[in-house]
Amino acid sequence: MCHTPGMPPLEIVAAGADDRLWAAEVMAASEPWITLGRGLDRCLAACCDPEYLVFIARQNGDRRGVIILQPRGVAGSPYVVSIACAPDARGVGVGGHLLAFAETLMRREAAFLFLCVSSFNERARRFYERHGYAVVGELEDYVIAGASEWLMSKRLGER
C-alpha cells in the first residue's frame, strides 16, 4: 500500500484477466503506443504474456495504472516493459508509485533495472530521469523509422 498526502491510498496488486484487458485498452489509446503503431491486439499480447509480471495500481477500488515487468529482460536483469496510467491518473504520482514498487520488488533479485523510452516521448524521459534513471544506450530506428529507443537503467543496489 502506497500513500501520498492528499491522495487516497494506492494498492498495487497482481493483475487478473479483466485487469489485463483494461491495461491493454489504456495502453493502446495513449502514447507512445499510438505513435509506435501498437494497437489493442499487440498491447493485449504484452499484457497476457506468461513471461511477464503484470501489476495494477488501484485507488478506492478503481484501476489507476499498470506496470509490466520482464524479470530477466536485459542481460539477465529485470526490464520494465510498460507503464501506463488511466487518463485521469496521469501526473499525480501513480506512475512513480508503480516504478518504486517495481524497484523494491526487483531489488531482491538484481542490481539494475532497465527500460526503454521512445526518443519522441520527452515527458516520459524526464519522468524516468527524475526517478534516477540514466540513458545507457540508443537503439536507432528500433521500433519505427526516424525514432530511437533510449535504453535507460538505474542501479537498485548491490546483489
The 10s digit of each residue's pLDDT in 37-81 is: 999 999 999 999 999 999 999 999 999 999 999 999 898 999 999
C-alpha closest to that of 125 among 98, 86, 89, 151: 151
Quick check: 91 and 30 in contact, CB under 8 A? no
Specify the pTM.
0.91
Residue 1 is assigned to a structural domain of this protein = no
Residue 22 is assigned to a structural domain of this protein = yes
Residue 55 is assigned to a structural domain of this protein = yes
Helix (H) or strand (E) holding 100: helix 94-107
* CATH code: domain of residue 135: 3.40.630.30
Distances (CA, A) of 114 to 54, 80, 87, 140, 144: 16, 6, 25, 17, 20
Query: Structurally, how many domains does the chain consist of?
Result: 1
- So what's the pLDDT on residue 6? 59
Task: List, for the chain, all residue ranges whose pLDDT scores fall below the cut of 70.
Answer: 1-8, 158-159
- So what's the pLDDT on residue 9? 87
- So what's the pLDDT on residue 159? 59
Residue 78 is assigned to a structural domain of this protein = yes
Residue 30 is assigned to a structural domain of this protein = yes
- So what's the pLDDT on residue 12? 97
- So what's the pLDDT on residue 94? 95
Q: What range does the domain containing 109 cover?
A: 10-155
The SS3 assignment for 91 reads: coil
C-alpha 69: how far from its chain's center?
A: 7
Distance between CA atoms of residues 118 and 139, nearest Å: 9
Distance between CA atoms of residues 82 and 47, nearest Å: 9
Distances (CA, A) of 13 to 54, 74, 101: 9, 24, 10
- So what's the pLDDT on residue 137? 96
Residue 5 is assigned to a structural domain of this protein = no
Residue 128 is assigned to a structural domain of this protein = yes
- So what's the pLDDT on residue 22? 97
- So what's the pLDDT on residue 5? 54
For residue 106, what are the contacts with CB-CB under 8 A and spacing of at least 6? 69, 71, 78, 113, 156
Distance between CA atoms of residues 32 and 158, nearest Å: 32
Residue 92 is assigned to a structural domain of this protein = yes
* Helix count and strand count (H, E) for the chain: 4, 7
